[in-house]
Structure 1
Amino acid sequence: MRVGVLGPLLVVDGSGAALTITGGRPRALLASLAVRANQIVTVDELAELVWDGAPPAGATRSIRVYVTRLRQALTPELAERLVTQGPGYVWRADTDLLEFEDLCRRGAEATRNGEWETAADVLARALALWRGTPLVDVPSELLREREVPRLERLRLHAVEDRVEADLQRGGDRQLVPELRELIERHPLRERLHAQLMRALAAAGEQAEALEAYQRARRTLRDELGVEPGPELRALHEQVLAGSVDQRAVPRQLPSDVLNFTGRQHELRTLTTLLDAAAEGAVVISAIDGTAGVGKTALAIHWGRRVADRFPDGQLYVNLRGYDLEQPVSAGDALAGFLRALGLAGAQIPVDTAERAVRYRSLMAGRRMLVVADNAGSVDQVRPLLPGAPGSVLLVTSRDRLAGLVARDGARRVNLDTLSEKESATLLRALIGPRVDAEAAAAAQLADLCARLPLALRVVAELAVSRPKVPLAELAEELADRQRRLDLLDADGDPLTSVRAVFSWSYQQLDEDQARMFRLMGLHPGADADVHAAAALADTTPAAARGLLDALAAAHLVIQVPPDRYGMHDLLRAYAVELATERDEALTRLYDHYLHAAATAMDTVFPAERDNRPSLPKPATGPELADPDVARAWLDSERANFVAVSAHAGVDHASGLATVLFRYLDVGGHGVESLALYRNAARAAGEAGDKTAEAAALISIASAHRRLGRPDEAGTFLRRALDLLQETGDVLGQARVWANLGMIETQYRRRYDVAVEYFTTALPLYRQVGARTMEGFVLNSLGDAEMNRDRYPQAVAYFDQSLAVFRELDYSIGEASVLDGFGELAVRQGDHHTAVGFYERSLALFHAAGDRSGESYSRHGLAKARHGIGDLAAAHADYAAALELFVQTGDRLEEARSLAGLAETAEALGRDDAGERWRAALEIFEELDAPEAARIRARLAEV
Structure 2
Amino acid sequence: MRFGVLGPLLVVDGAGAGIPVVAGRSRVLLAALVARANQVVSADELAEIVWDGAPPAAAARTVRRYMTRVRRAVGAEVAERIVTRAPGYSCVAAEDEVDVLRFEALCHQGGAAVRAVDWSRAAELLGGALVLWRGTPLQDAASQVLRDAHVPRLEQLRIQALEWRIEAELHLGRHDLLVPELLALVDEHPLREHAHGLLMLALHRGGRQGEALAAFRNARRVLVAELGVEPAGPLRELHRRILAGDPALAGPPPGRGEDIAADGPTPRQLPAGSPHFTGRADALRALTDLATRAADTRNAVVISAIGGAAGIGKTALALRWSQENADRFPDGQLYVNLRGFDPAGVPVEAGAAILGFLEALGVPPARIPAGQDARAALYRSGLAGRRVLVVLDNARDAEQVRPLLPGSPGCLVLITSRSRLTGLVAVDGAHPLSLDLLSTAEARALLTRRLGVDRVAADPVAVDELTDLCARLPLALNIAAARALARPDLPLAALAGQLRAGSGRLAALDTGDATGSVRTAFSWSFRDLDADAARVFRLAGLHPGADLDRYAAAALAGLPVDRIDGLADLLTRAHLVHPRGPDRYGMHDLLRAYARDLVEEDGENGRRAASTRLFDHYLHTAAVAMDTLFPFEVHRRPRVPRPSTSIPPVTDPAAAWAWLNAERANLAAVATLAADDGWPEHATRLSGTVSRYLMGGVYAEAPVIHAAARRAARRSGDARAEATALLGIATIDYRQGRYPRAVESSRQALDLFRGLGDRAGEARALHNLGLVVMEQGHDHEAVSCLEGALVLFREVEDRAGQAKAISNLSSIALDQGRHQDAIDQNQHALDLFRELHDRTGESHTLIRLGELTSWQGRHEEAAGHLRQALALSRGTDDRSGEAHSTDTLGLVHRRQGRFEEAVDHHRRALELFRGLGDRMGEARTLTNLGELAALRQHYRDATAHYRRAVDICREIGHPSGEAAALKGLDEVAGLDVPP
TM-score normalised by L of structure 1: 0.48
Work out which of the two has the higher radius of gyration on C-alpha atoms and give 1 or 2. 2
TM-score normalised by L of structure 2: 0.47
